[in-house]
A and B are shown apart, each in its own frame.
Chain A
Amino acid sequence: MLRQITVPIIAILVFLGFWEWLVWVNGWPNFKMASPSDLPPAYSRYWELFLTMGWQTLWRTVVGLLLAVVVGTLIGMIIGFSRLMRDALYPLLVGFNAIPKATLVPVISLIFIGQHDFNTVLMAFMISFFPIAVSVGIGLSTLEPEYRDILRSLGASKYTIFTKIALPKTLPEFFGALKVSVTLAFIGTNLVEIVSPHGRGLGALFKSGETNGDYPLMFAVLIALAVLGIVLYYAVVFLEKIFAGWAEREGS
């Protein structure tokens, strides 16, 4: 338990030390690259902004992520259970996922003018549902027929087979995908926050740091984003332990 906390903390400290050293040894000024020692002043100066903006980024990311879980799971079920739908939807899904989402920002901000919250949530969703849909789809379509047969031979309904077997069996894949989606969703949120004029959230704070040439502020935002990402990621790990902890083997 102690090791689980100390090892990552030591790793982070080593990383910060390396960063500080890199800036110092190159003699980079603040407007080229900020160093870790520049960050605490930035936080103490703007802490109120960090709290409100951080909260905005967080809730919009989480809502987008929840949307991605619901829609991604639904799409996964459709392509997992129906061969026809799999053949029909896969090219569309892959094609949509291949589109750089930055190009969609002007599109959605023209369709939903001024709906900054909505646009941000929408982007977080669009960028993060794909891994969930694919992994749920694969999990369901690769279910060994014997698993289905043990219940089907007893006359169990499709719904019962889904809730008792298919759904729990897919949970490990689902959580694996959710871990990828968490970080993707942050990218989506920030994309809109940075690119939109008059945006809010940490992305907008980053943008204003850039406009004012305040490099320590920009780096402070990046670190704050990283912290939020880590928090949300471990929230998923926590849920995974509760709902799919059985998939973890001893000694691995």
Chain B
Amino acid sequence: MSRGPFLLLNEGRAIENLIEIKGVKHAYSTKAGPLPVLDGLEVAVPEGTFCAVVGPSGCGKSTLTRLVAGLMKPDEGEVWLHGERVRGPRKTVGMAFQNPVLLEWRTILENVILPLEIVAPTMSRAKRVERAMELLEMVGLKGFENKRPSELSGGMRQRASLCRSIVHKPEVLIMDEPFGALDAFTREDLWQTMRELRAAEPFTAVLITHDLRESVFLGDQVIVLSGRPARTQYVMNVDLPADRTLDVLYEKPVADMLSVLRQQIKIAQGRDEEVH
């Protein structure tokens, strides 16, 4: 029933990889000639898991999200989603960005409903509202559904943006630094919310981030990309309980993981001699 390799999880159960990126290379054409951004990218994300991607600035992480979303095609290599080669945009993807990109002329509720208008044009208005309200309640925005985005705080806007990205029950949720512009406390609140959403919704997630603690807290695996042109440099399986709380970030196992990741980032930046 599936193509591609299987990945063995702890339970010894074989689970299909929902996302597979194999040998992807890509270069942007610039005035100064081709600028290679990806060179040998290998990513495999089993269904229902959460993959965090970290790497130095400007290493091509955002290009990775556009590849998975089908917004662009790689020069070389293959991107597979649910056993199908990605050749263009598909309705089974949800996206969230650092900028919440809410539409100012719509209320929060209407913003969350937006993808349903595209993906499920026949769905009744009542059903759409019901689905959107279910998510808004889950992220703590109940009572704010009729507000305009400009009336909400940055954290609340990002919550609404998350609701919009999963309202159509996508197979894959792609997030490009969604918490990057938030203050530290709001960010940690949203990490919690993200884990709650994961427990309730069936999506498989790819998260681009600069924050190593975030990658470990949210991810089932953390992929470290090398500096530009990016290749998969290191893959870490995060073996923490599914119902982890923020306290876990201050305990020894996570501290060890963070130290390994930090070391890997230094290597990716080409600064590994500086450590020790």
Contact = CB atoms under 8 A, between A and B. Distances in A.
A160 interface: yes
B71 A152 contact: yes
Given A154-B168, A155-B118, A149 B105 contact: no
Interface string A134-150: 00000000001011011
- Interface size bucket, B side? 20 to 34
A164 to B, nearest CB: 7
A161 to B, nearest CB: 9
Contacts of B101: 144, 146-147, 150
B103 A169 contact: yes
A154 B120 CA distance: 11
A151 B104 contact: no
B89 A150 contact: no
A192 B174 CA distance: 59
Interface string B80-110: 0000000011110111010101011100000
Contacts of A169: 103-105
Contacts of A155: 88-91, 118
A247 B89 contact: no
Contacts of B71: 149, 152-153
Nearest to A243: B105
A154 B93 contact: yes
Given A153-B69, A153-B70, A247-B104, A146 B91 contact: no
Given A150-B95, A153-B69, 14 more contacts: A146-B97, A146-B99, A146-B101, A149-B66, A152-B89, A154-B119, A155-B90, A156-B118, A165-B103, A169-B103, A169-B104, A246-B105, A247-B104, A247-B105
Q: Which 7 A-B pairs have the closest CB atoms?
A: A246-B105, A153-B69, A155-B89, A146-B101, A154-B118, A156-B118, A146-B97
Interface of A: 144, 146-147, 149-156, 160, 164-165, 168-169, 171, 244, 246-247, 249-250
Interface of B: 66, 69-71, 88-91, 93-95, 97, 99, 101, 103-105, 114-115, 117-119, 148, 150-151, 164-165, 168, 174
